[in-house]
Structure 1
Amino acid sequence: MSHNLPEIVLPQNQWITLPNKHFSFATNGKEASQNTIVKLKADDEYLEVEFECQQNPYWKQNTYQQHNTEMWNQEVFEVFIAEGSETPVRYLELEINPNNALFVGWIDNPTKEAPQNLTFVPYEKAGIKHEVKASGETWTGKMLIPWALIGGKKEVYRLNFFRIVSLQSQADPDWKCTPSNCDFTCWSATMSGATPRFHRPDAFGVLRLK
């Protein structure tokens, strides 16, 4: 990647708020207008992620209610994470939407450009504690991600955070996000060019546990 990777140092049992409150567009790295607040905490059992998605007036039009469905077609908050400091070719993808539906799957991406395989983790086996609240134009949520789900607690991880934001009202309940009706934003921009893409693990930032 042509830009420096962001790094998080996370002391045990302490909350850290990511300093950049605006994610960047996946395509070109320019700062998005919406506020996206992310907080992290780690203990011996969980990585806890809390987020706040602001300037999101159409969140009620999200129609995905079931876990492990094609939730990326509408508004979501996402976490991609893998253990180790190297660019991963296999990583865990987590998605949560305004209806508190959860997506958990392992992604195989040997080219580091496009997923080749998705293996769902059954909801009951994932062990993720999660909740969502929404009011006005803001929806917030949290996920407690067991370290055991990622292979046990380690010192270093590669990760990224993503948000899809609907920009217009949708009449069709089966609507799908496109670059013309949604913003595709990243904590660490994937710099994917004309088409927004999240699955570019070279762009994942670094998480170090203390």
Structure 2
Amino acid sequence: MFLNTVLIAAVAVVPALAQIPSNISVPSLNVPACPKKGTVTYDKSVPDQVAFPRTKVDVCYDDSHIDITFTAYNETNFFVNPNYTTNSPIYQYTAMETFISRGTGDPQTYLEFEIAPNNVTFQAMIYNPSKVRADGAPFDTFYVAEPLVDGLTATTTVNKPIGLWVSSARIPLGFFNVDNGTAHGTQWRMNFFRIITAPSTFPAQFYGAWSQPDEANFHMTPYFGHITFV
């Protein structure tokens, strides 16, 4: 799909039957053209639904990109691995994430984008045919090896005294076969997540989400929320 990608080959396995939850209700959001924004907030943990630091996500689109701004409140650690670079497993530490797919169904393939407080990013297309990352099922990661070349940019500001960090990303619509100027009226599935990690308890983590899966597994596409570009 990308000119600048690296494929991690899957080991041949016998696919497991997908354990897709039933009776799922997910949130919806209308996203306007920039500079207006659609906004979601969340403050519950995954999966136990206890209080979680408030997190806000603003989304809009223009002729060529989806713009997403993540705002993390009440951050106490800003814990990252300083040796990690583009596409390192930053999800092992502190990060904010979005999963994005065009269309209305529960996707098998979607973009996973992550950003850390030091502005290091992870971006990859995920192939998850079980839709829940089922044990024994294929799960492939196609890294976007040169995001800046591909037009994916990100900026981050950190204010440690008040426990705040804000990251903004511009994600090309072309990743989803949306031509320039044709995004209006398109429908999407997305979810937004935050991972909090503390040095004192590493590798244990605390998770929050907009559309809450019923387990600490972000790769459950039936829980992705519905998005419409209006």
TM-score (norm 2): 0.79
Mapped to 2, the partners of 1:162 and 1:64 lie a distance apart of 23
Render the CA deviation track for 1:70-104: whole Å, top value 9, x for unaligned: 11111111010011000001110001101111111
Q: CA RMSD in A?
A: 1.9
Q: Percent identity?
A: 24
1:176 Cα deviation (Å)? 5.0
- Describe how 1:84-163 pairs up with structure 2 within 5 A: 84-114=103-133, 116-123=139-146, 124-136=148-160, 137-152=163-178, 154=183, 155-163=186-194
Residue 38 of structure 2, aligned match among 16, 40, 49: 16
Q: Which shifted more, 34-43 or 115-124? A: 115-124
Given candidates 217, 221, 230, the residue that maps to 1:197 is 217
**Using a 3 Å threshold, how does the CA distance of structure 1 residues 34 and 92 change in structure 2: closer, same or farther?**
same
Letter matched to residue 25 of structure 1: S
Q: Distance in 2 between matches of 1:64 and 1:5?
A: 37
Measured in 1, the distance between the counterparts of 2:203 and 2:188 equals 29
* Cα offset, 1:31, TM superposition: 4.9
Given that residues 52 and 208 in structure 2 are in contact (C-alpha distance below 8 angstroms), is that contact kept between their aligned partners in structure 1? Answer: no
Of structures 1 and 2, the larger Rg is shown by 2
Deviations 1:119-147 (A, max 9, x none): 10112443112101111221111001110
State the partner residue of 1:165.
Answer: 196
Amino acid at match of 1:110: P
Give the unaligned 5+ runs of structure 1.
none
CA deviation digits over 1:130-184, x for unaligned, max 9?
1011112211110011101222155001010110012x334xxxx8532xxx211
- In the superposition, the TM-score normalised over structure 1's length comes to 0.86
| Structure 2 unmatched runs, 5+ | 1-21
Given that 1:64 and 1:71 are in contact with CA atoms closer than 8 Å, whether structure 2 keeps it comes out as no
Instruction: Letter of the 1:169 partner, please give it.
Output: P
Describe the shift of the 1:86–1:164 C-alpha distance in structure 2 as closer, same or farther (beyond 3 A): same
Q: CA separation of 1:94/1:126 partners in 2, compared to 1, >3 Å: closer, same or farther?
A: farther
Select 2:203's aligned residue among 177, 191, 194.
Answer: 177
Residue 118 of structure 2: SS of its match in structure 1?
A: coil
What amino acid is aligned across from residue 109 of structure 2 in structure 1? R
